[in-house]
Amino acid sequence: MAAANELKVTLIRSKHGRLKSHQACLRGLGIRRIHNPVVVKDTPENRGMINKVSYLLKVEEV
């Protein structure tokens, strides 16, 4: 994890109608709208939130 300590996370499917806990994970990651990428640090906490809602996201290493 030397150079890739950030992740670019993009919402590709709508958050509406999803479980409240999944919507909370998206809020925790700072994601607001579809196709608007957000750069987050690669921490175990962020990885856990990303794994929980991975079916809604596209994730790339920065």
Supply the DSSP symbol for 14. -
CB-based burial label for 2 (10 Å; 0-12, 13-18, 19+)? exposed
In a domain, residue 1? The reply is no
In a domain, residue 42? The reply is yes
Where residue 1 falls among pLDDT bands split at 50, 70, 90?
A: very low
User: Per residue in 49-60, pLDDT tens?
Assistant: 999 999 999 999
User: Per residue in 22-51, pLDDT tens?
Assistant: 999 999 999 999 999 999 999 999 999 999
60 near 8, Cβ under 8 Å? Answer: yes
Structural domain containing residue 44 = 6-61
Measured CA to CA, the distance from residue 37 to residue 55 in angstroms comes to 16
The tally of domains found in the chain comes to 1
Which tokens in the block code for residue 58?
Answer: 């596209």
Query: Domain holding 48: CATH number?
Result: 3.30.1390.20
User: Within the chain, what is the greatest distance between any pair of CA atoms?
Assistant: 38
